[in-house]
Amino acid sequence: MESLFVQLLVIGIKILVILGVVLGLGAYLTLVERKVAAHIQRRPGPMVVGWHGLLQPLADGLKLITKEDIFPRAGNRFLYNLALVLALVPAVLVFAVVPFGPEFEVFGVKVKPILTDVNVGLLLVFALGSMAVYAIALAGWASNSKYALIGSMRKAGIIVSYEVVITFAVMGPVILAGTLSTYEIVQQQINQKLWYIWLQPIAFVVYMFAMLAETGRVPFDIQEAEAELVTGFTVEYGGIKFGLFPLVEWYVEVLSLSAIAVVLFLGGWSPINIPFLGFIDPLFFLGPLSPFVWFILKVALLFLFVLWLHWTLPRYRIDQITETAWKVMLPLTFVNLVLTAVLAPIVWR
Amino acid sequence: MPWAKEEDFLELKKKFKDLQIEVKPTITNLHIPKHELIELLKELKQMGYKLFIDHSVVDFPDRSPRFQAFYILYNVDERKRVVVKTWTDGTLPSIEKLWFAGKWAERECYDMFGIQYEGHENLVRAFMWETYQYHPLRKDFPLEGYANEYLPSLNEVMWGENLQGLMNYDRMHTPVPTLEDLEITEKRRLKKKAQLVLNWGPLHPGTHGTMWFLFDLEGERVVQCDVILGQLHRGMEKLAENEMYNQFLVYTDRMDYISALCSNQAWVVAVERLLGIEDLVPEKAKYMRTMMSELQRINSHLLWLGTYALDIGALTIFLYAFKEREKLMDIIEGITGARLTISYPRVGGVRMDLPEGALEVIKAFVKRFPKELKDWETILSRNRVWLRRNVGVGIIQKEDVYFYGLTGAVARGSGVPYDIRKFEPYDAYPWVEFDVPVGENGDVYDRYLVRLEEMRQSLRIIEQCVSKLEKMPKSAPFFAESPDPKKLKLPLDGIGLKVPEGEIYSSGENPRGELGFYIYSTGGVKPYRVKIRPGSMYNLCVYPKLMKDRVIADAVAVLASLDPVVGEIDR
């Protein structure tokens, strides 16, 4: 009885921590993005609200929440609101299977810093990822606007193409690790003393491409394409409802997919890796906190990389994006799969 | 002034008995009766006068037949210009088979003068809405319009507020289009053939102004496309007839509001040529005008580059370009006192001398700017995404340049070295060295490269102007002095400037193509008729053709590469 209570308590705390961190961080990443963009563009960015604009996300949130809730006259109100829920929930749920660090013990209770270590974690990630397409398709349809519809169709086209690619891309690490559980994949990398990026560079690049495409980041941000479609499928949303879509797409999804990339390719919470020899930890002085810091550091690096691309590159056209997916990325992942199958025994030993 | 000579048309004289050739120093006219017009135009097109410049009519309400139509053509190979004129009482044969650009010009004439064109495929109004009853450019249409619509203020309707005193204006207004009117206009333009008609504009970030595009879409593919213009129509030509020559100068600012100085210069040079005082303008003023309009050209191209990159998704370039643009604006503000609507040149020179230190600032800018330009090219020119979005998109063939009357960077991008600065040099352009960049394939990417290179060439011109101006003494005059003040009054403010009888077509090389002014003067302080040849409008007329069977994503790229400004299109 007591152990059940403790377990429930632990899970409750985990949920609260993850939700708080993800949504809070998501909001604050807007500030990070604005600052990064500003410095790339040689301007200071938000400076007025708080020190160096530190309170800007709060001000933005307040503004969005207090705005009038506008609804298109001939739209479908139920689907219109459902799209919001469908966008937010799966994106956040992905964090249920993201392992933030190794198992540790507090007050005699063993805690894995992962909400549910299901043995099909990766499957769950991509299943939830595909849910995003429903949100966008519904948002476009329920808005009863041509711009929104075109935007959502574009996005649906991209997701359909890149779902296939991303699934084949992660096959490599899965074969090497021999498991679908995210926690176990990291453990395997530590046991094998190998970050899978060393053996899977192709898969990693393909994964990054697919990640940009799925989250609608430049050069794949055609569903927004402010010059052509104004803001695509969110064009009829207003106030905080409008704010939620970019929050989910650009921050929460980028974060979750970056975290999965770190888990799959960059050895999760493990420090710097020398292939097959071991790990070097320059952050050893942090003691038990070091793995968590490593994890956050890697995710942050990937996120900054995405931002860097976003504020530098122009965008592709829809046919070019899908063409890249089917004609370049997919064959590449097949090649990678064959290579992995050949190389896998070296890693398994 | 490279007008065609009489001996060029001796052959034609044999074929057309009624052809009259009139050669004046400011213009060469071919007068022809209406029934032979199309034949003559065809003949001229074969002779090499294949670039369509402009067409419109002049209204003489007291005469019969009432309208004098003119067609301005250009021979690019021999660099000759000619005007074909004919009289009509309200109908004209359509030239849409000869020049597509003529189709748009005819729409405009139909809109403004009520001329009926026989054989025109879809004669709809160019600027006004379809149910508008009047033809505003006719001489009997009053400048203030017909106030026959009751339009009280919103406050009055909703709360019954009675307006007092000065606020108590007249409730009768000139008609404005209702939603039904706009719907009729839209239906007349485009018969739906495919899945859905996307209204792209009038207010849309991708249209660079208030243009209203209609895309008939099959999925994302554009099956057919049309443009509804006129959201920014202010009746410039009507205003010009009712303003003095110098007063109209400020309206040229508001036409192509991004390159005001170039428009000013084109207008001023046109009036000077009409007066025959081009040689009287002091050298210093000419160099100053040239330098300023080249600065403005860079300024304008920067705005184009920024918005173009923004349309294709590279937001950062937009801010880089605007940062440099801000510096240029500051320079221009320091010299002229204005940033956007400048009105710096005057008929006979410029408004005021260069302030102290202006040349140093410009020199510093010229020194630093190529580095910036190189940075942007590093980001864009060889970028794979950029190449895939630009290369092979929106190809304009060389023949289409003539057929659609394209000028400016659009024509040069397709390999036609048509540059007024070289072909009909004005101000200091004959004395400075610069090259005219031309493209090879005529796609969006070539136009992009041409414009980038033009910025470099502008820098070269500015450098030469600066070094010339530095050598000139500070006391050198910047305004022309009239040789005989009794005969020709030439004041700085332009009041009392009388222009003798005559007509002229004169044009300047704007960043957006050839900006021409056809001025018909019957003597006096105001012109009788001014036809503005908007480079942007004729550049835009190729757009529906380019957009056929392309996707919406290309719409922004192609449109931005044509670089239209609505202020100039609608006037």
ipTM of the modeled complex = 0.81
Per domain, the residue ranges of chain A are: 2-348
Q: Are B32 and B85 a contacting pair, CB within 8 Å?
A: yes
Closest CA to B446 of B394, B376, B492, B517: B394
pLDDT of A1 reads 59
Measure CB to CB from residue B319 to each of A43, A227, A320 and give the nearest one: A43
Token digits of residue A200: 């899977």
Q: Are A196 and A171 a contacting pair, CB within 8 Å?
A: no
Measure CB to CB from residue B316 to each of A312, A316, A320 and give the nearest one: A312
Token digits of residue B378: 């590093």
Per-residue pLDDT tens digits for B486-507: 777 777 777 778 888 888 888 8
Which pLDDT band holds residue A246 (cuts at 50, 70, 90)?
A: confident
Q: Is A41–B205 a contact, with Cβ atoms under 8 angstroms apart?
A: no
Contacts of B323 in chain A (CB under 8 A): 42
A40 touching B (Cβ < 8 Å): yes
Q: Is residue B167 in some structural domain?
A: no
- Domain with B42 in it: 6-118
3-state secondary structure B497-527: CCEEEEEEEEEEEECCEEEEEEEEEEEECCC
Calpha distance B365→B368 (Å, rounded):
5
Which pLDDT band holds residue B42 (cuts at 50, 70, 90)?
A: confident
Per-residue pLDDT tens digits for B123-154: 888 888 888 888 888 888 888 888 888 888 78
Q: Is A316–B385 a contact, with Cβ atoms under 8 angstroms apart?
A: yes
Measure CB to CB from residue B551 to each of A146, A314, A319 and give the nearest one: A319
Token digits of residue B27: 């213009």
Tell whether the model's pLDDT for residue A98 goes beyond 80: yes
Which pLDDT band holds residue B39 (cuts at 50, 70, 90)?
A: confident
- The domain total for chain B is 2
- The mean per-residue pLDDT over the stretch A65-81 comes to 85
**Minimal-distance CA residue of chain A relative to B208:** A227
Contacts of B556 in chain A (CB under 8 A): 227-228
Task: Choose from A42, A310, A315, A321 for mutation: most chain B CBs within 10 A.
Answer: A315
Between positions 343 and 382 of B, the ones with CB within 8 A of A are: 379-380
A318 touching B (Cβ < 8 Å): yes
Q: Is B205–A318 a contact, with Cβ atoms under 8 angstroms apart?
A: no
**Minimal-distance CA residue of chain A relative to B388:** A316
Contacts of B196 in chain A (CB under 8 A): 146
The count of other CB atoms within 10 Å of the CB of residue B389 is 26
Q: Is B385–A319 a contact, with Cβ atoms under 8 angstroms apart?
A: no
Tell whether the model's pLDDT for residue A233 goes beyond 70: yes
Q: Which residue has the higher pLDDT, A109 or B31?
A: B31
Q: Are A94 and A215 a contacting pair, CB within 8 Å?
A: no
A155 touching B (Cβ < 8 Å): no
Measure CB to CB from residue A317 to each of B314, B319, B551 and give the nearest one: B551
Contacts of B306 in chain A (CB under 8 A): none
Tell whether the model's pLDDT for residue B1 goes beyond 70: no
Q: Could you tell me whether strands B172-173 and B149-150 are parallel, antiparallel, or unpaired per DSSP bridges?
A: antiparallel
Q: Is A314–B206 a contact, with Cβ atoms under 8 angstroms apart?
A: no
Q: Domain boundary residue among B102, B118, B134?
A: B118
B388 touching A (Cβ < 8 Å): yes
pLDDT of A349 reads 66
Q: Could you tell me whether strands B80-88 and B27-31 are parallel, antiparallel, or unpaired per DSSP bridges?
A: parallel
Token digits of residue B554: 């290309």
Q: What is the mean pLDDT of chain B?
A: 86
| Burial of residue B64 (number of CB atoms within 10 Å: 0-12, 13-18, 19+) | exposed
Q: How many CB pairs under 8 A join A and B?
A: 81
Calpha distance B420→B429 (Å, rounded):
10
Mention every residue, 6+ apart, whose C-beta is less than 8 A from residue B191. Answer: none
Calpha distance A124→A97 (Å, rounded):
8
B203 touching A (Cβ < 8 Å): no
| Burial of residue B504 (number of CB atoms within 10 Å: 0-12, 13-18, 19+) | buried
Q: Which residue has the higher pLDDT, A101 or B41?
A: B41
Per-residue pLDDT tens digits for B211-224: 888 888 888 888 88
Phi, psi angles (nearest 5°) of residue A69: -90, 105
A150 touching B (Cβ < 8 Å): yes
Q: Where are the alpha helices (DSSP H) in B339-486?
A: 358-380, 384-390, 398-403, 408-413, 420-423, 444-471
Nearest-Cα distance to chain A for B539, in Å, is 21
pLDDT of B380 reads 86
- The mean per-residue pLDDT over the stretch B156-185 comes to 80
Contacts of B552 in chain A (CB under 8 A): 150, 228-229
Task: Choose from B204, B316, B324 for mutation: most chain A CBs within 10 A.
Answer: B316
Nearest-Cα distance to chain A for B320, in Å, is 7
Calpha distance A294→B566 (Å, rounded):
55
Measure CB to CB from residue B313 to each of A37, A219, A230 and give the nearest one: A219
Token digits of residue B249: 């100068």
pLDDT of B89 reads 85
Calpha distance B233→B532 (Å, rounded):
13
pLDDT above 70 covers a percentage of chain B that reads 100
Contacts of A228 in chain B (CB under 8 A): 206, 311, 552-553, 555-556
Which pLDDT band holds residue B231 (cuts at 50, 70, 90)?
A: confident
Tell whether the model's pLDDT for residue A225 goes beyond 80: no
Task: Choose from B315, B327, B391, B556 for mutation: most chain A CBs within 10 A.
Answer: B315
Calpha distance B125→A289 (Å, rounded):
73
B387 touching A (Cβ < 8 Å): no
- The mean per-residue pLDDT over the stretch B532-556 comes to 87
Q: Domain boundary residue among B118, B149, B175?
A: B118
Nearest-Cα distance to chain B for A225, in Å, is 7
Calpha distance B243→B495 (Å, rounded):
11
Between positions 520 and 559 of B, the ones with CB within 8 A of A are: 551-556
B222 touching A (Cβ < 8 Å): no
Phi, psi angles (nearest 5°) of residue B345: -70, 155
Token digits of residue A158: 């991209």
B220 touching A (Cβ < 8 Å): yes
pLDDT of A264 reads 87
pLDDT of B100 reads 87
**Minimal-distance CA residue of chain B relative to A42:** B320
Tell whether the model's pLDDT for residue A78 goes beyond 70: yes
Calpha distance A57→A36 (Å, rounded):
15
Q: Are residues B110 and B254 in the same domain?
A: no
Which pLDDT band holds residue B245 (cuts at 50, 70, 90)?
A: confident
**Minimal-distance CA residue of chain B relative to A319:** B551
**Minimal-distance CA residue of chain A relative to B309:** A314
Calpha distance A76→A140 (Å, rounded):
11
Q: Is residue B548 in some structural domain?
A: no
Calpha distance A264→A180 (Å, rounded):
10
A45 touching B (Cβ < 8 Å): no
B225 touching A (Cβ < 8 Å): no
pLDDT of A158 reads 85
Measure CB to CB from residue A228 to each of B379, B380, B555 and give the nearest one: B555
Q: Domain boundary residue among B78, B102, B118?
A: B118
Per-residue pLDDT tens digits for B432-477: 888 888 888 888 899 999 999 999 999 999 999 899 888 888 888 8
Q: Are B176 and B231 a contacting pair, CB within 8 Å?
A: no
Calpha distance B374→A86 (Å, rounded):
46
Contacts of B380 in chain A (CB under 8 A): 314
pLDDT of A227 reads 67
Q: Is residue B168 in some structural domain?
A: no
**Minimal-distance CA residue of chain B relative to A311:** B316
Q: What is the per-residue DSSP string for B32-81?
A: --GGGHHHHHHHHHHHT--EEEEEEEEE-TTSSS-EEEEEEEEETTTTEE
Q: Could you tell me whether strands B116-118 and B91-93 are parallel, antiparallel, or unpaired per DSSP bridges?
A: parallel
pLDDT of A186 reads 86
Indicate the SS3 state at residue B226. strand
Task: Identify the CATH number of the domain in which residue B73 sits.
Answer: 3.30.460.80
Write the CA distances from A2 to A11, A107, A109, integer angstroms.
14, 14, 12
- The mean per-residue pLDDT over the stretch B379-406 comes to 86
Calpha distance A328→A330 (Å, rounded):
6
Write the CA distances from A324 to A170, A318, B98, B220, integer angstroms.
18, 10, 43, 18
Per-residue pLDDT tens digits for B43-93: 888 888 888 888 889 988 888 888 888 998 888 888 888 888 888 888 888
Between positions 449 and 488 of B, the ones with CB within 8 A of A are: none
Closest CA to B435 of B410, B412, B411: B412
Token digits of residue A216: 């609608």
pLDDT of A104 reads 77
3-state secondary structure chain A: CHHHHHHHHHHHHHHHHHHHHHHHHHHHHHHHHHHHHHHHCCCCCCCCCCHHHCCHHHHHHHHHHCCCCCCCCCCCHHHHHHHHHHHHHHHHHHHHHCCCCCCEEECCEEECCCCCCCCCHHHHHHHHHHHHHHHHHHHHHHCCCHHHHHHHHHHHHHHHHHHHHHHHHHHHHHHHHCCCCHHHHHHHHHHCCCCCCCCCHHHHHHHHHHHHHHHCCCCCHHHCCHHHHCCHHHCCCCHHHHHHHHHHHHHHHHHHHHHHHHHHHCCCCCCEEECCCEEECCCHHHHHHHHHHHHHHHHHHHHHHHHHHHCCCCCCCHHHHHHHHHHHHHHHHHHHHHHHHHHHHHHHC
